[in-house]
Chain A
Amino acid sequence: EPEVTQTPSHQVTQMGQEVILRCVPISNHLYFYWYRQILGQKVEFLVSFYNNEISEKSEIFDDQFSVERPDGSNFTLKIRSTKLEDSAMYFCASSRVMLEQYFGPGTRLTVT
């Protein structure tokens, strides 16, 4: 059964550095999402993406964040200048029909 994949599984970075988190959605899916989950807390929506543009973004998704689908398979989340509070698990999700989301395994981002 196809699954969403994410790389890296764990990223450690220094405050102020840029990071790019990568996701490969399920191949016939059209809707893509990024979420974050701070340890022990709920899943928080960041952004949704369809047809090469952002559909919706939360207040968390400020100017430090950007998303891109650079080719037909990858979907990336970039954080330009990381802060300590960006430390979290970042999940990518995709869906074929805009509702039934399937999550990737996550990237644990640690900002030191």
Chain B
Amino acid sequence: GENVEQHPSTLSVQEGDSAVIKCTYSDSASNYFPWYKQELGKRPQLIIDIRSNVGEKKDQRIAVTLNKTAKHFSLHITETQPEDSAVYFCAATDTGNQFYFGTGTSLTVIP
């Protein structure tokens, strides 16, 4: 089955700096890669996703890049704010029937 690895496990940045979280996957059949933000004690929320026919997608301060050849995708957050502090999970799926999640990155934005 698919194996998704995520790095780093923790990340601290100064407010206003950029944050980058990276994930790798093993199954070349995976074609949909969502990112979720989970604040403490709350539900995971979909923040951005990318399909395998696209190399990059951007939504305001958040962007995701995908390298199918290398089987890795990354989340980029620019101009970080304290409210960006949360745990971020990447995931991958091929059919949408089963999603494989990364181990999460705890992002802390220091004011």
Residues of A within 8 A of B93 (CB): 99
Residues of A within 8 A of B97 (CB): 48, 50, 55-56, 98
- Given the known inter-chain contacts A98-B96, A99-B32, please indicate yes or no for A91 contacting B43, CB distance below 8 A: yes
Cβ distance A86 to chain B, nearest Cβ, rounded Å? 19
Secondary structure of the A side of the interface? strand
Cross-interface CB contact of A105 among B42, B46, B96, B103, cutoff 8 Å: B42
**Residue of chain B at shortest CB distance from A4:** B43
**B73 close to A (CB within 8 Å):** no
A63 to B100, CA, bound (A): 21
The interface size of chain A toward B, counting residues with CB under 8 Å, comes to: 23
Cβ distance A66 to chain B, nearest Cβ, rounded Å? 18
B-to-A contact residues, CB < 8 Å: 32, 34, 36, 42-46, 49, 89, 91, 93, 95-104
A-to-B contact residues, CB < 8 Å: 31, 33, 41-45, 48, 50, 55-56, 58, 91, 95, 98-106
